[in-house]
Amino acid sequence: SRFETCWPALMKDSHGVIIIFNPELPSHLKEIEMWYSCFVQQQPLLDSQCLLVAHHKPGSSEDTENLPLAHPLNKLKLIHSNLEEDPEDVRMEFMKYFKSIVTIINESREREEMSIIS
């Protein structure tokens, strides 16, 4: 894509990646493999630092609960967002995700400080 030249700047020092996609588009299921490869595996980030969000548009079919995600995407935390029906649920999942990222950052900072001291 034409934004690929910006990717290194976007990735620099990032601590987490949220990939939002439309589960009704088969092309999106293929594209998220590329996003995962570029933004998570190549950095490298832990799988726990990545969140997949299957976003359902108003009036969309709900039969996408069991998404055919290929390995290794099927190991990632996946949430379904439907802002009309359950915005609070999505908000809680985001808060959980952000808290886990903060924990990872703090732990790595402590490790760095200990390695400087020792």
- The 10s digit of each residue's pLDDT in 34-54 is 999 999 998 889 999 999 999
One-letter amino acid identity for 26?
P
Residues whose CB falls within 8 Å of the CB of residue 32, separated by 6 or more in sequence, listed in order: 19, 21, 52, 73
Global pTM?
0.83
7 vs 77: CA distance, rounded Å: 23
Tokens 């886990």 map to which residue? 100
* CA atoms of 96 and 45, how far apart (whole Å): 18
Contacts (Cβ under 8 Å, ≥6 apart) of 107: none
Q: Which two tokens stand for residue 41?
A: 């595996």
Domain boundaries, the chain: 11-117
Judged against a pLDDT cut of 60, whether residue 95 lies above it is answered with yes
Q: What is the pLDDT of residue 26?
A: 85
Question: 61 pLDDT exceeds 70?
Answer: no
Is a pLDDT exceeding 70 seen at residue 1?
Answer: no
- Arithmetic mean of pLDDT, 89-99: 94
The average pLDDT across 76-99 equals: 90
pLDDT value at residue 78: 94
